[in-house]
Amino acid sequence: MEMPGPNGENVTTDKSDYMPGETVVISGSSWIPNQAVALHIDDSNNVSRFDASVMADAGGNISNSDFVVQSQDVGLAFTLTAKQGAVTAWTQFTDVVGAGTAPNGDPGGFEIDGNLRASASPSPITDWSDTTSGSGSGGLLFETGVPKNGPPVTYRVQDPANCGNACDDSFSGGKLNGDPNTNWTWWTQAANNKMDMNNVYVHISTDANNDRWITASADRYKTTGDAYVDFELLQNTLTRNVLTGCTNPPCGNFTSAGPDGGRTVGDLLVTAQYGNGGSLATILIYRWQAVSGGFAYVEYTSSIPAGKAKQRSLPPIRQPW
């Protein structure tokens, strides 16, 4: 994704996605010749990463090769901005856990390719939906969204979406690193459209090495606006309780059996952070660890061996169900 200036001024990179250690080759054109252009890079954690000034040549072209992607950048997206006076242009690039086929033990592996349907070739291959809506194959779900093989193979959880305050439930209190036993609460209240989830799927499979794989998917009612979707992998139980006397019933709190601040050391959090107005997803992985003063999720994405995780950032697409 990129945005040129009013007179075609532009900035771009030689690739859209990079591996750690690779150099980002920046170029641009249509700038005022022989005048400086300021380059700035922010990452998707809103951290400023790079600043440089380059001189546009006689043809209005710019170039720079000073920014190198680091090992800790896995899972991040970057926004590169070029500015000359009042004129601004920008582009984006990533260092994401890549698309591909996850060797999760399903026929042909699970396809991570930017859409929901299994590809006709190669065959066999597995995806959420069949190759075609009529008589296709390869999908885990019927066209209605119902799993072909239910628990313990494929789970579907539905939550009312876009139904107002009468039927939707949402969190009313609590923070990411908070103890669910002490500060997580819920109530019957409409969620913000960009955070309003309707369908969540979890698929469990086992590969040839007897390793367990988890394939997960979730949707939002609206895909505009910065948001996030979290999947927590907990070693102990988390229970939602219904209480009396709380605001906007049904409502209540949570009980966690996790002994370490409401979770268990080693629990994992996989989060899709939708930045740039909701159009760009960055997948990050965190691990629950002991920290100074207690416990917290610590970023773990860069520690994942290559090929052990797959993801794909999708443009907004409508599900068939």
| DSSP letters spanning 69-133 | --GGGTTEEEEEEEEETTEEEEEEEEE-PPPEEE-SSSTT-EEESSSSBPPSSSSS-BBSB-SST
* pTM exceeds 0.75, yes or no: no
143-180: pLDDT as tens digits: 999 999 999 999 999 988 888 888 889 999 888 788 99
34-90: pLDDT as tens digits: 999 999 999 887 899 999 999 999 999 999 999 999 877 877 889 999 999 999 999
288-308: pLDDT as tens digits: 999 999 999 998 876 666 555
Contacts of 116 (CB under 8 A, 6+ apart): 127, 128, 129, 317, 319, 320
Predicted pLDDT at 305: 62
Pairwise CA distance, residues 13 & 10, whole Å:
11
Q: Chain-wide mean pLDDT for the chain?
A: 88
Do 27 and 62 touch, CB atoms closer than 8 A? yes
Give residue limits of the domains in the chain.
2-95, 100-303
**Residue 277, CB half-sphere, CA atoms under 13 Å: how many?**
4
Predicted pLDDT at 17: 84
Predicted pLDDT at 11: 97
236-256: pLDDT as tens digits: 999 999 999 999 999 999 999
Which CATH code is given to the segment(s) 2-95?
2.60.40.1930
